[in-house]
Structure 1
Amino acid sequence: MRLHLVLFAVMLSACAAQGPASRPTFFMPHAAAVTPSTPSEDYGTAHPFLLLDSAPDGRWILACQAREDTNGDGRIETVFGYHGNVVGDALHPYLFLEPGAGIRIDEVLAVAPTGRFLVLVRDTTLWLLDVEAREEKVLASEVIPDTTSPQPPLRASFSRDGLRLLYLRPEAGRPVAVVRDLLQGTERVLDAGRGLIGQVLLDPSGQWAVFDVVEDTNSDGKESWPQEDTTLASATCRGPVSSSSHFGWEGDTPVRRYRRLEGGPLLQGDDILQPMGEGMLRRAPDRSIILEHVDGRRETWVPSSCNATLVFADAVHEQVVVVCETQPELGPVELHGARVHQPLGWRVSLPFSDRYVGLSGSDGRLLSLLASSEPGPSKAVDTVIDLKQRTVRVVPFGDLVASLGAHALLQERVKPVEPDGRWGERLWLWNVETGFPPNVLSESPDSGLLRAGDTVLIMGKRIDLRTGKVLGEASEALALDIQGRVLRPIEPSSPLSGPVRWEPALKTHESQRTR
C-alpha cells in the first residue's frame, strides 16, 4: 500500500509539472474523428465570398469574406476593380476545417501538393497544420504577415510529395532557413550564407534548397528585399485581375543560392542552371551544359557546338529540352541527356523567350512549345513535345489547357453560324501518343478549369485525365474534389455571396436547392 501511495504521488507531481493542457487553436477535440464533410453542410456566412483554395478531398477550404461594414456606408458589400483591388468593405481570409463560420487567419504561406499540410500565419504565429492527423504545430513566433505586397516572397515551400517543408523562421530579428521532415517531425537550420534571406524554395524533388538572398547592393546602408512598383493589388484576398502596370523595383538585387539537403557546399554563380534530381545542371565556360553529380563527377549533356538555351529539364526521363543558337534567326529544338542527343526537327525564333513555352503536363510528360517547321517566324504553330516518346506533334486546333500522360484537352473557339451570333467554345480530348483525331467532349458556355487529383472540370464536363473518360456533368462550381463533389454557393449571385456547400457533381436547378 505504501508503494502505491508513493507511485500515486509521483504521478500527481508529474501532471502538475506539465501544467494544464493547452487549448487547441484549429482542431477541436470533438472533431478528432471527423471525415470530409458531407453535402448539405454550409461553409461561411451570408456575406461577400472569394474562394482562394480547397483540399483535393474537400477537407478544408480557404476563402476571403467581408463580414463588417468597414467603410461605414450602412451595408456590407464588396466589388473588385480592374487591378484586383477591393472596392467596398474589407475582405479577410478564413480557414474552414469543417462547416461553419471558419477561423480568421492573416496569411497562407504554403499548401502541400497533397493537401495534407498547411503553413499559415495567425496572430503573429507561424503554424503548421496536419489536416489528416488533425494536429497543429507552432513553427515560429513574432512573425509579421505580409498583407500588402502584390507578389509576396515565398517564405515556405513543400516538396512535390509533400513530405518535406522549407520555411523561414525569425531568430534574433533575422530570418533563418529551416527544413522539416514532416513525418518524423525533425528539423534543422540550413546555412544560406551571408546576407538577408528574403525567399526560400524547395526543389520539387525535395533534394535541394533554393535561397534568394540580398546584400546592400544599392549602397543605402541596409539590406532590403525588393518591392515592386505596380498597380496590381495586394495578393491577400485579391480579386480577378483585368489589367495592371509594372514600373520597376525598389530595394536591393537578390542573388540565388543552392544547397543540397543531404550535404555539400553552398552553390552560387551564373553557371548554375537548375537542379536535376540529386545533381545540378551547370553551364561550362565553352557554353556546353553539364550535369554535376553528387560525387562531383561532371558529365556533358549538351555539346558546346549547340550554344544551348535551356527550355525544360525533364528529370523523369533524364534529359533536357534546349534551343541551339547556331543560326541568326531560328534555333533548332533538341533533346539531350546522358543517353540521348536527338534533334526534334523544329525551330523557334531567336533570341529564345519563355513566351514560346506553354503548358506542361502535371506529370511532366507533355510540353507545349510555339515552334516552326519552315523558315520564318510567321510560320510558328503550337506543338506538343511528348518527352516519353521523344516526338513532336502539331496541335490540330485550339489551345492546350490541361494534360496528363498522353491525354490532352484542347479548347477551341468556334465561329458563330449566324452573322450576329456569339462565338462559342468547343472542348476536345486528344491522345498525343497515337495522334488520332481528337474527340469532341463538350460545347458549353461554361468557362474556367478546376482540378482535383487526376480529375478536371471544364466546360461543364468532369473528366478523368488518366483514362480520358467523361465522368459526368457539373455546373456553377467554385471547386472540385476527388470524391466527385463540387463546391457551390447556396444562392448564386453576382458578386458571389456565401455560404457555400459541397454537393454531388450533378447539374441542379437553383430552385431545387435547399438549405
Structure 2
Amino acid sequence: MRLRPLLFAVMLSACASQGPVSRPTFFTPPAAAVAPSTPAEDYGTAHPFLLVDSAPDGRWLLACQAREDTNGDGRIETVLGFHGNIVGDALRPYLFLEPGEGIRIDEVLAVAPTGRFLVLVRDTTLWLLDVETREEKVLASDVTPDTTSPHPPIRASFSRDGLRLLYLRPEGGRPVSVVRDLLQGTERVLDAGRGLLGQALLDPSGQWAVFDVVEDTNSDGKESWPREDTTLAPATCRGPVISSSHFGWEGDTPVRRYRRLGGGALLQGDDILQPMGEGMLRRAPDRSIFLEHADGRHEVWVPSSCNGTLVYADAAHEQVLVACEAQPDLGLLELHGARVHEPVGWRMFLPFSDRYIRFPGRDGRLLSLLVPSEREPSNAVDTVIDLERRTVRVVPFGWVVASLGAHALLQESVEPAEPVGRRGGRLWLWNVGTGFPPNVLSESTDSGLLWAGDTVLVMGKRINLRTGKVLGDASDGALALDIRGRVLRPSPTAVKEPGSSAQSGPVRWEPALKTH
C-alpha cells in the first residue's frame, strides 16, 4: 500500500516510553518537545534500517530498526534471509512523524487513502490518529498485536474516500465489527452473524462490510482462525522475500458474509460474487449474472447463454469482464453491463485464476491480462484491455510494470554484453490509447519501482505517468520517492555493519535529480 500525504508538521518527545501516559502519546505539543539527538534531517538511528512505507509528500515514514542486542552476541546486526526472515537482532516497527528517533509502535493496521487517518496498535491499545486535527482517539483496549502471522487477517480498513472506517474490537473476549463515521465521530456495531469473526474489511465504495467468519468446521470443539503452514516470515518487519513454500492450513475454514451499511439482510452463499457500488453481483440458477440493487431490483448483466466466469469487475465503468465458456479449456472474453454487451475478441484460459491478471491499472482504466495466443492457444501472450475504450492491444515488448490513465510502462530484459555481466532491462513508455509504438526511455541494471502520486521512479527515470512526461534522471539507491521531487536515501552518516545485510540508518530526503 501507499501512504497518502499528511498535511502537518509536529514535534515529538524523544522519549518512546511503552508505559501508560497521561499526556498526548503521538502529537506532543511543540513546547514540551525535547531537541532530537540526531541531525535535523535524519530519520532513525545508526542501526539496521528497513523501510516499510512513506507518505507521498515525505512528511512521515514507517520503518523497522534493530536497536538492541536481542540475541546477546555483543553486537547489533541483522541479516535478511531468503524467506523474508530476520537472522540476528530483532527488528521493531517505528513511526516517524518528523526527523528524529521516532515512536516505537507494535503494528499498523490501516492508513486512510486520503492520508488523514491512521489506525495502529501501541501498548495493547488500538489508536486512531487524525493527522489533520492532531487528535488521538482510543478505539479499543486489551488489543493483542499480530506479529507472527505471514498474512495477518484484516482488522481495520477505510473506504476509498477516507470517510468511513471498519475495525474489530474485543468485547467479552471475542471480536466485534464496528463502523465509524470519521467526520461525525459516530460508531455502530455491525452484526456478522454466528461464529468467530476473524477478519472484516470495507468494500472500497464504503457501502458494504465484508466479514470472514469461522465456525467449528473441523469438529475439534472450538472455533479457530486458520493458521498457514509456510516458510514465509511474519509480515511485521519482514525483509525482501526471495522464495517461500506453502504446506496448507490448520484450523477451521472461513465463510464470507456481506452486509450493506445502509441496511438489509446479512448475505452468504455461493451465488454471491462481489459488491458493485451500492449493488451486489450475484449468479442466478440459470448461470446468468445479475446486479441486485439496494431496493431489491434484479438487472441481468450477463445472459445465461454465456455461462460466464467473472474475470474482473469494473465498478468505475459499470461493467464486468467475463469468460463465456465456449469449450472446456477456453472461454470467450466479453464485456457486459447495464448498457454494454460486447465481445472482446480474445479468449481466456479456463478454469480462470487470478494469476492471469498481470497488472490492474492504478486508476482502473487499463487491465493487463495473460491470455492464450491466437495462433498457438497453448502459449500465452500479454495483452492490455482499455476498459474505458473497450479495446485490446498486445503488449509489443516485455511486460507491463505500471500503468495510469492511458499510459503503461513496459520492461524488457536485456542480455549482458559480457558473459559474466549483470542482466539489465530496457524501459518503454506506451500510450495504449493511441496504440503507437512505445518509446524507449532507459536501459539499466536497476530494479524496483517507486510511486508517489502520479509519479514513478524506475530504472533511473522519474516519470509522470498520468501525462507520460519524463521529469528527469534520478540517481541510484533510492528507498522511496515523494511528490516534491525527492528520494529517500541513507544519510551520509549511515555505516553498514560488516556482518549485516540490512541497510543501516539513519536516512534522509534528498533531491531526486542526478547531478552531472
TM-score (norm 1): 0.91
Counterparts of 1:226-305 in structure 2, within 5 Å, are 226-305=226-305
Question: SS at the partner of 2:378?
Answer: helix
**Counterpart Cα distance in 2 of 1:483 and 1:492:** 27
> Which residue is equivalent to 1:117?
117
**Counterpart Cα distance in 1 of 2:502 and 2:132:** 33
> How far does residue 349 in structure 1 lie from its aligned partner after superposition?
2.1
> Which residue is equivalent to 1:50?
50
**Counterpart Cα distance in 2 of 1:458 and 1:132:** 31
User: Aligned-pair RMSD on alpha carbons?
Assistant: 1.8
> How far does residue 418 in structure 1 lie from its aligned partner after superposition?
4.8
Structure 1, 369-378 or 454-463: larger mean CA deviation: 369-378
> How far does residue 328 in structure 1 lie from its aligned partner after superposition?
2.6
Counterparts of 1:79-478 in structure 2, within 5 Å, are 79-372=79-372, 374=374, 376-418=376-418, 421-474=421-474, 475-478=476-479
> How far does residue 422 in structure 1 lie from its aligned partner after superposition?
3.6
Is the CA contact (8 Å cut-off) linking 1:348 and 1:380 kept in structure 2?
A: no
> How far does residue 98 in structure 1 lie from its aligned partner after superposition?
1.0
Residues 1:496 and 2:497 are matched in the alignment = no
Question: SS at the partner of 2:355?
Answer: helix
**Counterpart Cα distance in 2 of 1:182 and 1:23:** 23
Question: SS at the partner of 2:326?
Answer: coil
Question: SS at the partner of 1:51?
Answer: strand
Residue identity over aligned pairs, in percent, reads 84
**Counterpart Cα distance in 2 of 1:40 and 1:380:** 53
Counterparts of 1:50-89 in structure 2, within 5 Å, are 50-89=50-89
Judged with a 3 Å threshold, the aligned counterparts in structure 2 of structure 1 residues 118 and 508 are, in CA distance, closer, same or farther, namely farther
Is the CA contact (8 Å cut-off) linking 1:40 and 1:502 kept in structure 2?
A: no
> Which residue is equivalent to 2:482?
481
Structure 1, 434-443 or 491-500: larger mean CA deviation: 491-500
**Counterpart Cα distance in 2 of 1:421 and 1:72:** 40
> How far does residue 148 in structure 1 lie from its aligned partner after superposition?
0.8
**Counterpart Cα distance in 1 of 2:309 and 2:59:** 43
Q: Deviations over 1:326-353 (max 9, x none)?
A: 2133211110111111111101222222
Judged with a 3 Å threshold, the aligned counterparts in structure 2 of structure 1 residues 31 and 355 are, in CA distance, closer, same or farther, namely farther
Question: SS at the partner of 2:25?
Answer: coil
> How far does residue 314 in structure 1 lie from its aligned partner after superposition?
0.5
Q: Deviations over 1:437-474 (max 9, x none)?
A: 11111112221011111111111111111111111222
> How far does residue 132 in structure 1 lie from its aligned partner after superposition?
2.5
> Which residue is equivalent to 1:9?
none
Is the CA contact (8 Å cut-off) linking 1:333 and 1:345 kept in structure 2?
A: yes
> How far does residue 40 in structure 1 lie from its aligned partner after superposition?
5.9
> How far does residue 377 in structure 1 lie from its aligned partner after superposition?
2.8
Q: Deviations over 1:487-515 (max 9, x none)?
A: 11113755300001111212369xxxxxx
> Which residue is equivalent to 1:17?
none
Q: How many residues align?
A: 484
**Counterpart Cα distance in 2 of 1:73 and 1:289:** 62
> How far does residue 280 in structure 1 lie from its aligned partner after superposition?
0.3
Whichever residue aligns with residue 268 of structure 1, its letter is Q
Structure 1, 472-481 or 100-109: larger mean CA deviation: 472-481
> How far does residue 158 in structure 1 lie from its aligned partner after superposition?
1.0
Whichever residue aligns with residue 497 of structure 1, its letter is S
Question: SS at the partner of 1:326?
Answer: strand
Whichever residue aligns with residue 499 of structure 1, its letter is P
Is the CA contact (8 Å cut-off) linking 1:410 and 1:427 kept in structure 2?
A: yes
**Counterpart Cα distance in 1 of 2:421 and 2:249:** 45
Is the CA contact (8 Å cut-off) linking 2:393 and 2:432 kept in structure 1?
A: yes
> Which residue is equivalent to 1:18?
none
Is the CA contact (8 Å cut-off) linking 2:44 and 2:505 kept in structure 1?
A: yes
Judged with a 3 Å threshold, the aligned counterparts in structure 2 of structure 1 residues 499 and 419 are, in CA distance, closer, same or farther, namely closer
Is the CA contact (8 Å cut-off) linking 1:32 and 1:134 kept in structure 2?
A: no
> How far does residue 421 in structure 1 lie from its aligned partner after superposition?
4.2
**Counterpart Cα distance in 2 of 1:257 and 1:282:** 13
Q: Deviations over 1:159-193 (max 9, x none)?
A: 11222111001111111101111122111111111
Is the CA contact (8 Å cut-off) linking 2:127 and 2:140 kept in structure 1?
A: yes
Judged with a 3 Å threshold, the aligned counterparts in structure 2 of structure 1 residues 367 and 459 are, in CA distance, closer, same or farther, namely same
Judged with a 3 Å threshold, the aligned counterparts in structure 2 of structure 1 residues 133 and 58 are, in CA distance, closer, same or farther, namely farther
Is the CA contact (8 Å cut-off) linking 1:276 and 1:313 kept in structure 2?
A: yes
**Counterpart Cα distance in 1 of 2:422 and 2:76:** 36
Is the CA contact (8 Å cut-off) linking 2:344 and 2:392 kept in structure 1?
A: yes
**Counterpart Cα distance in 2 of 1:428 and 1:482:** 22
> How far does residue 414 in structure 1 lie from its aligned partner after superposition?
1.5
Whichever residue aligns with residue 29 of structure 2, its letter is P
Is the CA contact (8 Å cut-off) linking 2:40 and 2:99 kept in structure 1?
A: no
Whichever residue aligns with residue 477 of structure 1, its letter is A
> How far does residue 31 in structure 1 lie from its aligned partner after superposition?
7.8
Whichever residue aligns with residue 72 of structure 2, its letter is G
Q: Which has the larger radius of gyration?
A: 1
> How far does residue 404 in structure 1 lie from its aligned partner after superposition?
0.6
**Counterpart Cα distance in 2 of 1:379 and 1:31:** 66
Judged with a 3 Å threshold, the aligned counterparts in structure 2 of structure 1 residues 390 and 228 are, in CA distance, closer, same or farther, namely same
> How far does residue 379 in structure 1 lie from its aligned partner after superposition?
3.8
Is the CA contact (8 Å cut-off) linking 2:50 and 2:502 kept in structure 1?
A: no
Structure 1, 23-32 or 294-303: larger mean CA deviation: 23-32
> Which residue is equivalent to 1:507?
514
Whichever residue aligns with residue 479 of structure 2, its letter is L
**Counterpart Cα distance in 2 of 1:316 and 1:84:** 36
> How far does residue 72 in structure 1 lie from its aligned partner after superposition?
1.1
**Counterpart Cα distance in 2 of 1:269 and 1:337:** 22
Question: SS at the partner of 1:43?
Answer: coil
Query: Which runs of no fewer than 5 residues in structure 2 stay unpaired?
Result: 1-20, 34-38
Query: Which runs of no fewer than 5 residues in structure 1 stay unpaired?
Result: 1-20, 34-38, 510-515
Judged with a 3 Å threshold, the aligned counterparts in structure 2 of structure 1 residues 478 and 421 are, in CA distance, closer, same or farther, namely closer
Question: SS at the partner of 1:25?
Answer: coil
Structure 1, 328-337 or 313-322: larger mean CA deviation: 328-337
Is the CA contact (8 Å cut-off) linking 1:359 and 1:402 kept in structure 2?
A: yes
Whichever residue aligns with residue 212 of structure 1, its letter is D
